[in-house]
Amino acid sequence: MTWSDTSSAGVPAGRQTYFFLSYAHSVPLSAAARPDTDFWVNRFFQDLGVAVRRTARRTGELDVGFFDGLVEPGADLRRALTDALSVTQVFVPLYSPKYFSNPWALGERDSFHSRLRGLPPGRAARHVLPVLWLPLSPWEERPETAQALELARDPADRADYAENGLRALCKLSAYRRQYESVLTALAERVVAVAESDPLAPSRAATPASSPVVDSGDTPLVITTVTPHGVRWRPYGDQHALAVADYVAATAERLGLPTRVVEIAEARARAPESPTVVLVDATVDPGDARAAVDALPRWAVPLVIAPDGARGDTTPETIAGSLQDARFPQVLPVREIVEFERSAPQLVIEARKLFLRHGPVDPPDGPTVPRPSLRPDGPSDVPRGKEDR
């Protein structure tokens, strides 16, 4: 099955899979690159596939598993992930300190959970089998970790697993027995759930690359002005990502949380966030200006004209109109290399302008009293003209 074939009913055509492997990863920034796959994630995926195949009885009906390393370079990654999540039976997240703040991993998790809505909680929980991939710090411990540790039946093996994580057990020959034990237990559970309590294929929600994550930073809002919405891919097969997702991936590599939203939602979020607006040069200049008029003037617009000839002045006309409206001046881009070069600059400029011109009021909530050397009780000295 290719991970982009979709039936007319909205559910991907082809065979279901026993499991979907999810891990903290960044996305490729070019069509020629595969996803940023950890060698040991790939090794574990192969090992788990072998273990499942050894135990399974329905391999004639189901494929073994999926992870993003199977996506062909240049394919629409978000659609491929949605298709795979729509037909898998068990979601296997590899928990690590970065997993719980990784936008793509959390997007995959939320996408699969969308298929479990309406199921009794106990049944829904059976279809998520977590693995402790890298140990968490004591202050990062989460309830999900306890479920992952259940894979190690022997107390001594569980201690090694909890202390080192399965990635270390996979890498180090000294832990081969412990690794095989956890691997076998996981494969048996995957097969048991998939064969005794199968999920019907159903269209998963499209993974959001930027769900809300626990972070002290204000998310960068990224939106588009185009009839195609945030899924706009003006460079077609030259890019694995929509241009909004490309800017988001660039921001994430710079350590910034992001939200990719449609323009209507951007208008609501931008007053509290740094903002990047990607403008389609085919949009009428007046319509483009009207679309962004409600945004704060720290929002950074970029006009994209992938099919525009150098002699065509329409992109410059739109950019000039936005500059006249007191938005930051950014030269339009045409070639893909120009767009890629501008992406990190857009992110940095948007954050800089937000910090310089954005709101300075504290967030809503209980106020913290300012430190004072005064006693807590009322002062014994009357305050009035005599104090001056």
Q: Please give the pLDDT value at position 11.
A: 56
Segment 77-90 mean pLDDT: 92
Statement to judge: residues 142 and 234 lie in one domain: no
Statement to judge: residues 159 and 301 lie in one domain: no
Q: Please give the pLDDT value at position 13.
A: 55
Residue with tokens 């070069």: 341
Among 166-175, 260-269, 304-313, name the one with the lowest average pLDDT.
304-313
As a whole-number percent, the residues of the chain with pLDDT over 90 amount to 56
Among 31-45, 96-110, 160-174, 250-264, name the one with the lowest average pLDDT.
31-45
Q: Please give the pLDDT value at position 349.
A: 92
CA distance 218 to 379: 41
Whether 27 has a pLDDT exceeding 70, the answer reads no
**Domain annotation covers residue 386:** no
Q: Please give the pLDDT value at position 379.
A: 35
**Domain annotation covers residue 286:** yes
Statement to judge: residues 176 and 244 lie in one domain: no
Statement to judge: residues 227 and 188 lie in one domain: no
**Domain annotation covers residue 245:** yes
Between the CA of residue 28 and those of 78, 100, 238, 319, what are the distances in Å? 12, 20, 12, 29
> 80 by DSSP, 3-state: which?
helix
Segment 84-101 mean pLDDT: 92
82 close to 111: Cβ distance less than 8 angstroms = yes
CA distance 128 to 145: 12
Among 158-162, 252-256, 279-283, name the one with the lowest average pLDDT.
252-256
- The CATH number for 133's domain is 3.40.50
CA atoms within 13 A on the CB side of 300: 26
**Domain annotation covers residue 59:** yes
As a whole-number percent, the residues of the chain with pLDDT over 70 amount to 81
Segment 320-342 mean pLDDT: 91
Contacts 24+ apart (CB under 8 A), 146-153: 148/95, 151/182, 151/185, 151/186, 151/189, 152/178, 152/181, 152/182, 152/185, 153/181, 153/185
**Domain annotation covers residue 207:** no
> 22 by DSSP, 3-state: which?
strand
- The CATH number for 263's domain is 3.40.50.360
Whether 170 has a pLDDT exceeding 90, the answer reads yes
pTM: 0.64
Statement to judge: residues 30 and 101 lie in one domain: yes
Whether 320 has a pLDDT exceeding 60, the answer reads yes
Q: Please give the pLDDT value at position 73.
A: 67
- Residue that finishes a domain, picked among 180, 196, 212: 196
Statement to judge: residues 30 and 128 lie in one domain: yes
Segment 203-212 mean pLDDT: 72
198 close to 18: Cβ distance less than 8 angstroms = no
- Residue that finishes a domain, picked among 154, 181, 196: 196
Whether 336 has a pLDDT exceeding 50, the answer reads yes
**Domain annotation covers residue 372:** no
**What residue numbers bound the domain in which 239 lies?**
220-357
Statement to judge: residues 173 and 318 lie in one domain: no
Whether 83 has a pLDDT exceeding 90, the answer reads yes
Q: Please give the pLDDT value at position 139.
A: 67
Whether 344 has a pLDDT exceeding 80, the answer reads yes
Instruction: Output the CA angle 40-46-51, nearest 5 degrees.
Output: 120
Identify the band that residue 262 occupies on the pLDDT scale cut at 50, 70 and 90: very high
- Residue that finishes a domain, picked among 160, 180, 196: 196
**Domain annotation covers residue 297:** yes
Statement to judge: residues 176 and 308 lie in one domain: no
Statement to judge: residues 126 and 84 lie in one domain: yes
Position 84: which residue type? A
- Report the mean per-residue pLDDT for the chain: 83
**Domain annotation covers residue 29:** yes
Q: Please give the pLDDT value at position 232.
A: 93
Statement to judge: residues 191 and 246 lie in one domain: no
Whether 248 has a pLDDT exceeding 60, the answer reads yes
Q: What is the 3-state secondary structure (H, E, C) of 260-318?
A: ECCHHHHHHHHHHCCEEEEEECCCCHHHHHHHHCCCCCCCEEEEECCCCCCCCCHHHHH
Identify the band that residue 1 occupies on the pLDDT scale cut at 50, 70 and 90: very low
29 versus 387: the higher-pLDDT residue is 29
Number of structural domains, the chain?
Answer: 2
Between the CA of residue 94 and those of 40, 79, 142, 165, what are the distances in Å? 11, 21, 14, 10
Statement to judge: residues 186 and 266 lie in one domain: no
Statement to judge: residues 140 and 94 lie in one domain: yes
CA distance 144 to 129: 10
Segment 302-330 mean pLDDT: 86
Q: Please give the pLDDT value at position 61.
A: 78
CA distance 80 to 115: 16
Segment 300-323 mean pLDDT: 86
